[in-house]
Structure 1
Amino acid sequence: MTDDPDRHARKMAKKKAARDKIMATKTDEKGLVIVHTGKGKGKSSAAFGMIFRCIAHDMPCAVVQFIKGGMSTGERDLILSKFTDICAFHTMGEGFTWETQDRTRDTEMAQAAWEKAKDLIRDPANRMVLLDEINIALRYDYLDIAEVTGFLTTEKPEMTHVVLTGRNAKDELIEIADLVTEMELVKHPFRSGIKAQVGVEF
């Protein structure tokens, strides 16, 4: 049974007043450390959504891909073809670890990507820097987690957002982050024999 319209209006007015009171206390702004992790799909997709928001608002931004090789993806191709003036894009990995099978080379590439990332983050002109799949590099100890967290807490410009994606985010990273989202896997078509598809996965 539906509520009486007048009762519903009063209820919503009370909710709005409570919400407005809460929102009035939220006045600060700062550059956020944002982590997307978990076994579920959508970590990089959500991060690229924020990058495209920055582009739409004419906010300079940058992407460093740590693990993924130079394969064509919709986000990469669109940025490289249309938005290089406002979004620097650096694919620094050579493919997933099970494909490269070379720990020494993977470590060298991850460390080179981290050096590039630090340069981009230090530049206060960049309002957001996406470190795509850096959590994988951290998980396999290609990078020193203490160095990464130390840099983010001491050298990141005050108003720069940094987004870090990938499964198995380290506890130390979660501890210093301002926003952490864990994607939960409920169901995936791969388990039913369906391969990665254009427009969904890449």
Structure 2
Amino acid sequence: MPDSHHRNRMARKKAVVDAAIASADRDKGLLLVLTGNGKGKSSSAFGMVARSLGYGHRVGVAQFLKSRRDTGEEAFFARQPGVQWHVLGDGFTWDTQDREADVASALRGWTVAQTLLQDASLHLVVLDELTYLLNYGYLDATQVCADLAARPAGQHVVITGRAASQDLIGLADTVSEINDVKHAFRAGIRAQAGIDL
């Protein structure tokens, strides 16, 4: 490809991108949903935690299903000033095998999440693995959506988990579906510290 052709092509692309940037003239707290069967939903959310902290913002994290307290993200972020970190689950539902206990745990956890969603000083709230609680009927979707809609105007929220409901997708500003192409676990490789934990 001749250099002049490439330069003209990139100039056209830049004009389109610049026009799109110029037309985006509003600010608001975003609701982002990271869903799909692939690895990286929570990792992406924690990347946004790092970005927010980099700007000096305060962050709240609610982990709903995970009961582990030895993950790398908690070891790092829970020590950072400006982070409220809550591990709210009793383990994955296939571990507990007790619907009544899972519903009670979800309701306790949502009470904590409601507190985060009402705190205007929090720039970002991460609701990790929330989709499962809605899909299994542990929480009332109407109440969850109402609480999300009623949060402070400038507060950003990231929700992670597989099979996001149409209610969440409809309410969200940005939805990303992370696809599963290949995963080391299926080849018999354990979860690796710093990558999976």
Amino acid of the residue matched to residue 131 of structure 1? L
Deviation at 1:6, TM superposition (A): 2.4
Q: CA RMSD in A?
A: 1.1
Q: Which structure 1 segments of 5+ residues have no match?
A: none
Letter of the structure 1 residue corresponding to residue 162 of structure 2: R
TM-score between both structures, scaled by the size of structure 2: 0.96
1:124 aligns with 2:120: yes
CA displacement, residues 56-92 of structure 1 (integer Å, 9 cap, x when unaligned): 11110110010000331111010123x0x20100001
CA distance in 1, matches of 2:116, 2:69: 22
Matching residue of 1:163: 158
TM superposition score normalised by structure 1: 0.94
Equivalences for residues 113-192 of structure 1 within 5 A: 113-153=109-149, 155-192=150-187
Alignment size in residue pairs: 197
Residue in 1 that maps onto 2:91: 95
1:107: Cα distance to partner? 1.0
Which stretches of structure 1, 4 residues or more, deviate above 2 A after TM superposition?
none
Identify unmatched segments of 5+ residues in structure 2.
Answer: none
Query: 1:21 and 1:140 mapped to 2: Cα distance?
Result: 43
Instruction: Give the corresponding residue for 1:195.
Output: 190
Name the amino acid aligned to 1:126. Answer: L
What is the CA-CA distance between 1:23 and the residue it aligns to?
1.2
